Amino acid sequence: MTTLKIPDLGGASQVEVIEILVSPGDTVEMEQALIVLETDKATMEIPAEAAGVIKNLSVKVGDKVSSGDVFGELDGDASGAEEKNAESAPAAEQKTTEAPVQPAVESAPSPSAEPVAAVDIAIPDLGGSEQVEVIEVQVSAGDDIDAEQTVLVLESDKASMEIPAGQAGTVISVAVKTGDKVSAGDVMLKLQPAAGNAVSAENNAAESAVAEVAPAEKTVQTTVAATAATATIPAADVRSSAAEVHAGPAVRKLAREFGVDLAQVSGSGPKQRITKDDIQRYVKQRLNGEPASVSGGSGIPAVPVVDFAKFGAVSDSPLNNIKRATARAMTTAWLNVPQVTQFDQADITDLENYRKQQNERYARQGIKFSIVPFVLKAIAKALEDFPSFNASLSADGEKLILKHYVHVGVAVDTPKGLLVPVIRDVNQKSVTQITQELTDKAELARLGKLPLADMQGGCFSLSSLGGIGGTAFTPIVNPPEVAILGLSKASMQPIWDGTAFIPRLMLPLSLSYDHRVIDGAEAARFSQRLVMYLQDLRNVLM
């Protein structure tokens, strides 16, 4: 028997349980999500540490848990026993006179006695996003699908994501269409499970009956539990503080960007749950009436509305969710962060020669190096030298949060807009490893398949326009980060060596930084240290 405990939550405590994904009697695999927790910043799934059968759960929707808390028990031997019993079931039916049958087996129906009931397949956890738009439906009624086959493609404010079926079977009906808005737990299709899933489904039902658990499908049970938990909270308590209102991480993030106190917002969702539309409606009302409680931008006059059709033919081209989210984030950053850009140049003549040599060396392995992985390695070393660049300003502006890890985001141009995959622990990886990981994540980003988790946790960002052109630009710092480096196109320039001008390949660097955290002298020193590393990467090894 394995005791299920809440793992390390990164320092968070008293985190709310917002969803129970399994029931007593369910057979689970290792790493399968069991419960979902939600802080004001993120939603996280707690996986099973081993395969087995859930014996009991000691938490319910609405409970608050911390690292180390016990939330259930799992029988690691039961899974193997069930499989063994299932395999031997036909033999037992043929030789009922040769060996006694256990009462539990006698009461259990044969897997082939009757067809498996159709099940509703629900939208899985979306990382806190709600009312996410369906941009593509890839299955139809009558289709035979695999567990990993994509059913829907959704597009949130940050990325496009593919939603798999979760189990194999035949599609009976599809409950959504392109343009619909869905959230975690919404039914997306009705499925007739494949024969391979029949035994496990019936076993789970039998075990649930023995454990005296009311028979209900997972999605229905979760929804009912969540509704019940919400309904037990008095209306007066819901609005007592922003921490107690019902709102997902994406909504809370939007409220922070606008400086809105969630306790003052009326929710239009189920059980007064606050949506993004509620936030935007609240801000508009305050701007049109009394002064809005919006930090950093409440006094800025609106841009006049112009009827462009008066001057000629026009047409509308709606922004997709990713570009709208980028626009909001950049506006928030520009209004709230005093930014300065430091310009510099690095002589990368020797580095460029070395890069070309490595491309020839690794050509047979299909690895091609750009300048970016080398720059990332130099950035990682500079961040270790200057901890204030690898930090974030606290919400109250009174202290600096220093990070003891080096995760760097790299802006990637995609057909739907700018996405920023994060390369983790850059300081601990080789240039070859960084190249391979960056290549893989950039490709996923362009295909719209990059997980949200791979775009979170960055300490510093890099934006490279060198492949397009330009001599310099001013990248915008993306809070809570405090700096970002821009790369422009390298060019051959005559450099004076004391006796003559010699041609050298110079790389323009544009370092933007948050002036609340970093002063000009420190930025100049960081920039010069970065130049030193790029001009001779052997310094990174010292």
Structure confidence at residue 78 (pLDDT)? 56
Say which residue, 276 or 312, is predicted with more confidence.
312
Structure confidence at residue 352 (pLDDT)? 96
pLDDT by residue (tens digit) across 7-20?
887 777 888 888 88
The fold adopted by the segment(s) 1-108+220-231 is: OB fold (Dihydrolipoamide Acetyltransferase, E2P) (2.40.50)
Rounded to whole angstroms, the Cα distance separating 99 from 96 reads 6
Give the residue-averaged pLDDT of 146-161.
Answer: 76
Rounded to whole angstroms, the Cα distance separating 6 from 72 reads 10
CA distances from residue 279 to 29, 103, 329, 404 in whole angstroms, order as listed: 39, 58, 15, 35
Q: Are 486 and 474 in contact (CB under 8 A)?
A: yes
Give the residue-averaged pLDDT of 403-414.
Answer: 95
Q: Which residues of 288-308 are buried (b: 16+ CB within 10 A; e: fewer)?
A: eeeebebebbeeeeeeeeeee
Region 334-541: CATH code: 3.30.559.10
- Where residue 153 falls (left for φ over 0; alpha for ψ -120 to 50; beta otherwise) is beta
Alpha helices in 344-388 (DSSP H): 349-361, 371-385
Structure confidence at residue 477 (pLDDT)? 96
Sequence spans of domains, the chain: 1-108+220-231, 115-193, 235-288, 334-541
| 83 pLDDT above the threshold of 50 | no
Whether the domain at 1-108+220-231 and the domain at 115-193 fall into the same CATH topology: yes
Q: Which two tokens stand for residue 8?
A: 């390390």
Rounded to whole angstroms, the Cα distance separating 111 from 88 reads 12
Give the residue-averaged pLDDT of 381-399.
Answer: 94
515 is catalytic: yes
Q: Which residues of 63-80 are buried (b: 16+ CB within 10 A; e: fewer)?
A: bebeeebebbbbbeebbe
pLDDT by residue (tens digit) across 442-485?
999 998 888 888 999 999 999 999 889 999 999 999 999 999 99
* pLDDT category of residue 196 using cuts at 50, 70 and 90: low
The single residue of 246, 404, 407, 515 carrying the catalytic annotation is 515
The chain-wide mean pLDDT, for the chain, equals: 80
| 91 pLDDT above the threshold of 60 | no
- Where residue 106 falls (left for φ over 0; alpha for ψ -120 to 50; beta otherwise) is alpha
CATH 3.90.1150.30 fits 115-193, yes or no: no
Give the residue-averaged pLDDT of 391-413.
Answer: 94
Q: Are 69 and 6 in contact (CB under 8 A)?
A: yes
Which CATH superfamily is 235-288 part of? E3-binding domain (4.10.320.10)
Say which residue, 373 or 116, is predicted with more confidence.
373
Rounded to whole angstroms, the Cα distance separating 106 from 470 reads 77
- Measure the CA dihedral 286/292/298/303, to 10°: 0
Give the residue-averaged pLDDT of 495-517.
Answer: 96
Q: Which of 377, 356, 373, 350 is nearest to 530 (CA)?
A: 377
